[in-house]
Structure 1
């Protein structure tokens, strides 16, 4: 069986690598050096469904399909008074994530350009579904949301 926590950690690492920005689990990411929240831009990662039923009569739970919501956050620059999040910044971050998750190798090799490293499992298919954006003008924050779905099979 493919462990959900291992998938969640791998997805967070993939998003952090693809965007070059911090990822928080359900909350604003914290800088381990200062103990304070990172300023935007950053990504919030929400685990959604995790289905381990391969829909066969002899289901051995060797597969999993995991869905995550990635909320990309643009906000004010703490060094600039009265600054606001921008559409350009949030869409740049979402584009980096989508490209990083879905890109294939340039040479036509099978698989994805950026690995989703889950111990004991391989990811054979990925999907991205953009579900919209929100803004909180009173907080000067703009967000964009993509739901990613990863299809995995046990490597053993």
Structure 2
């Protein structure tokens, strides 16, 4: 069986690295003082999972985990009348979509590793799932749903 928590932590780290902004697990990320950070940031939610990959060879050593990443834009701190916008939210999503990048030399695997001890991610999918806006808060979001196909590597 593949444990969910280490995979979630690895995806959180990978998304933060690719976007250059904090990622909170189902909550607004906090700064080093424990206070909520202002946008932009990403919210990562665990969704569905299955402990089988549907193959005949599956010996409970594979899993498929689904996640939702919500990319939150917002006003620029210190700039009066600034607002979050679709450009900022889509920029974050485009950076995160690099989770799917393959090596330019055609070698196997993914360019950006998902580092989970004892687990290999052999297939990744991403699907845009819309977004929301709240003009009153000057916040715009866009959403990607990631599906990770995993197997134990030991």
**Contact 2:53/2:149 (8 A) holds in 1:** no
Aligned equivalent of 1:128:
126
TM-score, structure 1 length as denominator?
0.94
**CA RMSD in angstroms, aligned pairs only:** 1.3
TM-score, structure 2 length as denominator?
0.95
Cα deviation code 1:20-71 (max 9, x no counterpart): 1100011110012x22111111100000012102336785310010000000
Q: Which runs of 5+ in 2 are unaligned?
A: none
Structure-1 separation of matches of 2:57 and 2:28: 42
Cα deviation code 1:53-93 (max 9, x no counterpart): 23367853100100000000000112112211011111110
Aligned length: 154
Q: Which runs of 5+ in 1 are unaligned?
A: none
The alignment status of 1:98 with 2:80, answered yes or no, reads: no
Cα shift at 1:10: 0.7
Aligned equivalent of 2:2:
2
The 3 A distance-change label for structure 1 pair 51 and 36 is same
The alignment status of 1:73 with 2:75, answered yes or no, reads: no
